Chains A and B, each alone.
Chain A
């Protein structure tokens, strides 16, 4: 039975078997979920298909949100980029367009894959699909990357929280970006330790971010923060891949994020009573 309770145990499993994080996570799913490798990978491929559809559709066909605060942002980014005017470059430019697209679909009550939550669902597909286009990764590699992302998200779910109402936006967008960063490192050929360093870096850089949706809607600033999550993930992956080591390991950063989250006041944990939601412009949508 392959299982692990924290990042330290995950790293030990990786080094024992000379395995990637994605391989350990796949084996864990087969062992504990009592499914075959084929079933597990097939189900992940389905998730990837839904993700791709949600990331691409709004680039051509903008959708208006139920709450009316967002709609059309992904199309604008795509147009800007296709005219050669992106200042972000290919990977980040595409990544943020995809991430904002997924949030458009989500806010219009379309079908998405929570990763780990719906409000943060744009980050993992955003960065990973942008990397696939740039570096031509196979679908199998993409499925593996999602298992890797899942390993980091699982640790956050098990040992901390991924609910904005409990830990703020750092627990949603922060964890999603940590998942994306780790998966990106593995895709680009990094070692397991580098993946977890990248994930820890994201949690550090997004520490304390509050959950303050305007009007209580998963729209604004959520959509902007999904773009920011992609950027944070990309930065953290770059640091790790260049060989920069982190002082604070992932397990400690995760606990730090959780402790900070519990100290975020009620008004700033998805209640729409503080932060952006309480600004004069934001509060035009107060209840």
Chain B
């Protein structure tokens, strides 16, 4: 379990009205946009459970859109995120799914498309009090909170990939706090999430990509 800070309780400092439905939603989208390479052009949010039922009155839609544009939870621009997204030429839409009920009550799927047309989808859960986690990236179940600096690696499920990753990180003096592997199925696409207390060197990406089984590397820095 990750560390719960006193400022997760007395906090976040945030634009209202709901820590789970406004600040949490903003935080999920804020984390999601960090995983997308290039410039966001189009975004689709699918809301489940309580999110689907009550998003309008909680400003969940404005908060998600604000977060996807990189706004923090206490940024008063969240109130005007529809207008700002319009000015930036970002296409957005909101869907609800009330059929699937075996998800966390505050769940959102975010499908992002960048200027090159590359798609990425992320599922996030708002756990209450502004705490969140990402539980799915492009159909693969993961667990990721954004509380640490992280590198997310998409790879082929082959021997030696994890060794390559740890070697590259140790060469650069990165201390690994957590490291987890997830895969679609044997021999197929897999994900590695490595979290560190310290900021990760930006050029670690190139070094990691030297292994032919590594397809994509996303750096998600805390600040």
Contacts and interface: CB of A to CB of B under 8 A. Distances in A.
B11 A114 contact: yes
A52 B58 CA distance: 23
A150 B9 CA distance: 6
B127 interface: yes
Given A47-B11, A161-B128, A150 B56 contact: no
Given A114-B12, A118-B23, A146-B10, A165 B57 contact: no
B9 A66 contact: no
Contacts of B54: 213, 216-217, 270-272
B106 interface: yes
Nearest to A26: B6
Interface string B4-17: 11111111111111
A25 B6 CA distance: 8
A129 to B, nearest CB: 14
B129 A162 contact: yes
The residue in B13, B74, B126 that gathers the most chain A C-beta atoms within 10 A of its C-beta is B13
Contact of B76 (A111, A149, A166, A273): A111
Interface in B143-201: 197
A219 B20 CA distance: 15
B53 interface: yes
Contact of B57 (A111, A118, A217): A217
A109 B59 contact: yes
Interface in B82-139: 105-106, 126-131
B221 interface: no
A149 B128 CA distance: 17
Contacts of A66: 17, 57, 59
A270 B22 CA distance: 14
B7 A109 contact: no
A217 B56 CA distance: 8
Contacts of A164: 20, 128
A165 B106 contact: yes
Given A163-B127, A165-B106, A118 B14 contact: yes
A44 interface: yes
Given A47-B13, A272-B53, A163 B128 contact: yes
A159 to B, nearest CB: 10
Nearest to A214: B57
B78 interface: yes
Interface of B: 1, 3-23, 49-50, 53-54, 56-59, 74, 76, 78-79, 105-106, 126-131, 197
5 contacts: A154-B6, A163-B106, A165-B105, A217-B57, A269-B105
Interface of A: 25, 28-29, 32-34, 40, 43-44, 46-47, 50, 65-67, 105-119, 121, 124, 146-147, 149-151, 153-154, 157-158, 161-166, 171, 179, 213, 215-219, 269-273, 287
Contacts of A147: 6, 10
B149 to A, nearest CB: 13
A108 to B, nearest CB: 7
A235 to B, nearest CB: 23
Contacts of B58: 216-218
Nearest to A167: B128
A22 to B, nearest CB: 10
A153 B128 contact: no
A270 B50 contact: yes
Residue among A65, A112, A124 with most chain B CB within 10 A: A112
Which of B13, B15, B16, B53 has its CB near the most chain A CB atoms (within 10 A)? B16
Contacts of B78: 109
Given A47-B10, A218-B18, A114 B3 contact: no
A162 B59 contact: no
B120 to A, nearest CB: 27
Nearest to A149: B10
Given A109-B78, A165-B128, A269 B16 contact: no
